[in-house]
């Protein structure tokens, strides 16, 4: 069965994480993604560890794409890029605001070339405003957007993954899908501006209304919850387990499961407001029980008691997870060197048009001949001339 975006061509001028994540999501659903790289490849290729020219950093956001190399700052290279854009549906870039315009590749120019083109620009702070020209990475945006202030126990800390990059990449892919739907009705493409700061700000829970309406400022609480108890991590004999007993019934089930039903009737803990007030005492009591068992034993207790819980797994344990295996989220593909590398699975499962891992992360310029000769009509001699000129 074909992917739901089969027939859609995406030109990917992006690098690092946010843009490549966006285009990988489109490629997973069947889009033909052509990754246009500078002659020595995406900056992410050169990080370590790596297999040949594919670093693990590059692996995770660049499957289901074809790679070509092109110096489109060169006038001849720019003409080739414009020929590609003329034949494409979507363009994704994450240069600093203003760079595309300086190269003559702003949307106002490109829509004259291709009126159906959908262009997405992903940046740290957006294409306009007082911070638009500032450099940004995920960590900077986590700090500015309020997310870092909510994370950690004492000092603010980064989230364990690139929340700003992934949220903006996901948002851009969502926007592109909407724009494709709109184009079906109007025949006209459009431009979208996605800011990492906006995306992170949208993900900081109820911090804004809680502060503006009630003057309540959320505090860092580590793995605990602001409004529910017991919720959080508890030490076990061999690690930690996370329990989320958010309802009265779940709390009572938790106390029964650990062999102390009387705690459910204790005035200090009987109601949610009392549990929050006495959360330190309650968590200490519960920890004294969980520490007597392994994470697996506590998990089984909680499952029988119908209390949401999970062991706090390290990556080795995650890779053994039977549910992830069942849903084919741990895959292997063979790259151009012949090496087999791991990749995650496709996270949306359409019944009739399922996405798939069709292509491994490409080598630098792996598809130059395929794209330039097969789709733009260059001869092999002309391709060699472009190489000699340093254009591809």
Mean pLDDT, range 124-152, rounded to an integer: 96
Instruction: Report whether pLDDT(235) > 70.
Output: yes
Least confident of 98-112, 263-277, 373-387: 263-277
Bridge partners, 311 (sequence order): 241
Mean pLDDT, range 133-148, rounded to an integer: 95
pLDDT at 222: 85
pLDDT at 224: 81
Q: What's the pLDDT tens digit per position in 165-205? A: 999 999 999 999 999 999 999 999 999 999 999 999 999 98
Mean pLDDT, range 279-299, rounded to an integer: 95
Active site residue 155: no
pLDDT at 309: 96
The three state secondary structure string of the chain is: CCCCCCCCEEEECCCCCHHHHHHHHHHHCCCEEEEEECCCCCHHHHCCCEECCEEHHHHCCCCCEEEEECCCCCHHHHHHHHHHHHCCCEEEECCCCCHHHHCCCCHHHHHHHCCCCEEEEEECCCCCCCCCCCCCCHHHHHHHCCHHHHCCCCCCCCCCCCHHHHHHHHHHHHHHHHHHHHHHHHCCCCEEEEEHHHHHHCCCCCHHHHHHHHCCCCCCCCCCCCCCCCEEEEEECCEEEEEECCCHHHHHHHHHHCCCHHHHCCCCCCCHHHHHHCHHHHHHHHHHHHCCCCHHHHHHHHHHCCCCEEECCCHHHHCCCHHHHHCCCEEEEECCCCCEEEEECCCCCCCCCCCCCCCCCCCCCCCHHHHHCCCCCCCHHHHHHHHHCCCC
Mean pLDDT, range 51-68, rounded to an integer: 97
Provide the pLDDT confidence category of residue 228 given band limits of 50, 70 and 90: confident
- Which domains does the chain possess? 9-203+324-388 (3.40.50.10540), 231-313 (3.30.1540.10)
Mean pLDDT, range 77-103, rounded to an integer: 97
Instruction: Report whether pLDDT(273) > 70.
Output: yes
Mean pLDDT, range 47-68, rounded to an integer: 96
Mean per-residue pLDDT over the chain, rounded: 95
| Closest by CA position to 85, among listed 64, 61, 109, 57 | 109
Torsion-angle region of 372 (φ positive above 0: left; ψ -120 to 50: alpha; else: beta) = alpha
Provide the pLDDT confidence category of residue 154 given band limits of 50, 70 and 90: confident
Provide the pLDDT confidence category of residue 225 given band limits of 50, 70 and 90: confident
Catalytic residue, from 165, 193, 238, 356: name it. 165
pLDDT at 304: 96
Instruction: Report whether pLDDT(1) > 70.
Output: no
Provide the pLDDT confidence category of residue 2 given band limits of 50, 70 and 90: confident
Instruction: Report whether pLDDT(221) > 90.
Output: no
């Amino acid at each position: 069965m074909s992917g739901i975006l089969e027939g859609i061509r995406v030109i990917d001028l992006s690098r690092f994480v946010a843009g490549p994540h966006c285009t990988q999501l489109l490629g997973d659903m069947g889009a033909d993604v052509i990754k246009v790289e500078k002659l020595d490849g995406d900056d992410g290729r050169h990080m370590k560890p790596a297999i040949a020219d594919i670093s693990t950093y590059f692996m995770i956001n660049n499957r289901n794409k074809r790679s070509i190399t092109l110096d489109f700052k060169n006038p001849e290279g720019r003409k080739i890029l414009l020929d590609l854009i003329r034949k494409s549906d979507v363009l994704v870039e994450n240069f600093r605001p203003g760079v595309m315009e300086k190269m003559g590749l702003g949307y106002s120019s490109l829509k004259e070339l291709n009126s159906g083109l959908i262009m997405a620009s992903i940046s740290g702070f957006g294409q306009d405003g007082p911070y638009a020209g500032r450099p940004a990475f995920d960590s900077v945006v986590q700090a500015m957007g309020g997310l870092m202030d909510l994370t950690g126990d004492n000092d603010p800390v980064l989230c364990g993954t690139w929340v700003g990059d992934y949220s903006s990449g996901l948002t851009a892919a969502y926007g592109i899908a909407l724009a494709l739907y709109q184009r079906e009705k109007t025949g006209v493409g459009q431009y979208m501006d996605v800011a990492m700061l906006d995306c992170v700000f949208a993900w900081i829970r109820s911090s804004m209304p809680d502060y503006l309406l009630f003057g309540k400022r959320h505090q860092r609480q580590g793995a605990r919850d602001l409004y529910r108890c017991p919720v959080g991590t508890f030490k076990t004999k061999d690690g930690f387990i996370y329990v989320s007993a958010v309802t009265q019934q779940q709390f009572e089930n938790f106390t029964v499961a650990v062999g102390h039903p009387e705690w459910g009737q204790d005035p200090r803990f009987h109601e949610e407001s009392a549990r929050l007030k006495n959360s330190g005492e309650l968590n200490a009591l519960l920890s004294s029980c969980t520490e007597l068992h392994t994470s697996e034993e506590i998990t089984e207790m909680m499952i029988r008691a119908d209390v949401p819980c999970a062991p706090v797994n390290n990556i080795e344990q995650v890779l053994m997870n039977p549910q992830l295996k069942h849903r084919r989220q741990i895959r292997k593909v063979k790259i151009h060197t012949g090496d087999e590398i791991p990749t995650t699975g496709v996270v949306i499962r359409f019944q009739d048009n399922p996405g798939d891992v069709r292509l491994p992360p490409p080598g630098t310029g792996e598809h130059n001949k395929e794209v330039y000769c097969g789709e733009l009509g260059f001869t092999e001699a002309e391709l060699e001339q472009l190489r000699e000129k340093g254009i591809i």
